[in-house]
Amino acid sequence: MTEEPRSPWAPPEGPAGPPPAWGQQPGTTAPPPGWQQPPPGWSPPPPQGPPTGGPVGQLPPYPAPPPSRRGPAFVGIAVAAVLAVAAGAFAITSMGNDTPSTPEAAVEALFSALEDQDVLGILATLAPGERQVYQPFIEDMVGELQRLDVLAGDLDLAAIDGIEIDVDGLELRSSTLGKGVSSVSITGGTITSTLRPAEVPIGSFVRELMEDSGVGMEPVTSTEPLAADEPFEIVVIDDGGWHVSLHYSIAELARKEAGVAAPAFGQGVQPEGADSPEGAVRALLEAAVDLDLRRVIALTPPGEMSALHDYAPLFLDDVEAMVGE
């Protein structure tokens, strides 16, 4: 009977010896020469088996990973985040509390921002619907003028250098036009403005043109009365707080020049919506093709164009009569 060849990877024959020491390969009865007890915490290297497979040594379990030490840091970050959110909420609440509670206060806030040369503050006094239209437009325009080197790159819309404005003795008188709409007349006061061309944040391109053309760079100061022959009027609206309305002010000025009675505010052309943006555009185009001005106005946004909705009845009948001829 032919004996099967013995595999070189098989353990040696003979009586079993004591269990292998930690870190030894099975099948040996004593540690190799020079072998020492591994230090505490040492992890043995991965076992190396034969190229074609075969028995490998059984390694003891790896020690458990040390506990995480980032607990205090994580808690600190979480606390900082909570404080930041709380501060933001406080700032938003504070801004809401500063909303003018009277028509006169809205106009006073406008002149206060004007004295601070704060363009963003002036925009903040506008009705929200109008501010959403004009603020992005102004910011984009300023960015483009900076790119063209017409305005300086360090221009700050919250505090424009080179211009000083002082308002003294401001006197206001308000009158109600309708529900949530009031007119504030400026009946007294003066405005003094000082221009310092050398400090105005203009770009180097424009500054060189000014110097080449001999434009004077000395400061110029002028003082003008706020109320001349007749009081200047600013219309403010109540939309959760009184705000200045550029659109209502223009519409009211046109109404007075036309000599017609004030409209019934809130009872003008009622806004008409659509199921989708595409539907709104399609409806607007159809109304324009049909020369249906009333529906065109109804399809405009009620927030930004509320003045148009309120004042439209003052001229719609005449326009429709002209279209029908």
User: Which tens digit of pLDDT belongs to each residue from 213-267?
Assistant: 877 778 999 999 988 777 889 999 998 899 999 999 999 999 999 999 999 998 9
- Packing angle, helices 128-147 and 246-258, rounded to 10: 110
CB 200 within 8 A of CB 161: yes
Q: What is the mean pLDDT of residues 286-306?
A: 91
pTM over 0.85: no
User: Which tens digit of pLDDT belongs to each residue from 13-53?
Assistant: 555 555 544 444 444 455 555 555 666 666 655 555 455 44
**Whole-angstrom distance, CA of residue 113 vs CA of residue 23:** 79
| Helix residue spans in the chain (DSSP H) | 71-97, 103-115, 119-124, 128-147, 204-212, 246-258, 277-289, 293-298, 306-311, 316-324
